[in-house]
Amino acid sequence: MKDIPLLDSLMQALQCLPGVGRKSAQRMALHLLQRDREGARQLAHHLLQAVERIGHCQQCRTLSEHPVCHLCADQSRLRDIVCVVETPADVLAIEKSTHFRGQYHVLLGRLSPLDGIGPAELGLDQLEQRLNSGAIRELILATNTTVEGEVTAHYIGELARVRAIKTTRIAHGVPLGGELEYVDQGTLLHAFEGRREYFL
């Protein structure tokens, strides 16, 4: 079997990134090798460090270097309000754009039976434990407004409803089918502050 040349294997590896096709990968690889070898070394170093040292927070499931992320460890944050989001990128977007001072639960996806993603894959057993603790006063559903995001919100809303926990849903200004990480800061702030009670 013939070995793949290093340049080709680098271009193939770069295609694992979202939105990077063959031509983009070629352009990136050639740039790093022709014009920025030191940048390539730094990229390789930081990527390896991140892959080896970043895991998931044991409480909210966002990305973290520590067993408990800095947001969950922050004692000044409200413990009785939990915002449910799909990805760590959504946490970053909310933190950057709003004044939210509660806790998070990061699903790391959304319900999609066709893709084999059910409640277990989203850590909903962990969320149920938090809801059963009696410490949660409000659950904010901030899943994306895609079909899967709405189904996920409905499922989680039902978990809260049977426990008589107030459930709100961000909706104001977020376009149907939109992804939170791509919504501008002003719209996201307005959506968060204008959340409404979620009725099933």
CB 88 within 8 A of CB 105: no
Residue 144's SS3 state is: coil
User: For every one of its 200 residues, what pLDDT tens digit does the chain have, with 9 covering 90 and above?
Assistant: 466 799 999 999 999 999 999 999 999 999 999 999 999 999 999 999 999 999 999 999 999 999 999 999 999 999 999 999 999 999 999 999 889 999 999 999 999 988 889 999 999 999 999 999 999 999 999 998 788 988 999 999 999 999 999 999 886 566 656 677 777 776 777 677 767 676 66
Which among 20, 172, 158, 2 is positioned nearest to 84, based on CA atoms? 158
Which among 160, 188, 159, 161 is positioned nearest to 173, based on CA atoms? 188
CB 90 within 8 A of CB 181: yes
Residue 170: burial class (beta carbons within 10 Å; 0-12, 13-18, 19+) = buried
Domains identified in the chain and CATH numbers: 6-53 (1.10.8.420), 63-197 (3.40.1360.10)
Q: What's CA 6's distance to the chain center, in Å? A: 33
Which pLDDT value is given to residue 1?
Answer: 44
- Please state the length of the chain: 200
Residue 75: burial class (beta carbons within 10 Å; 0-12, 13-18, 19+) = exposed
Which among 98, 63, 72, 87 is positioned nearest to 180, based on CA atoms? 87
CB 110 within 8 A of CB 143: yes
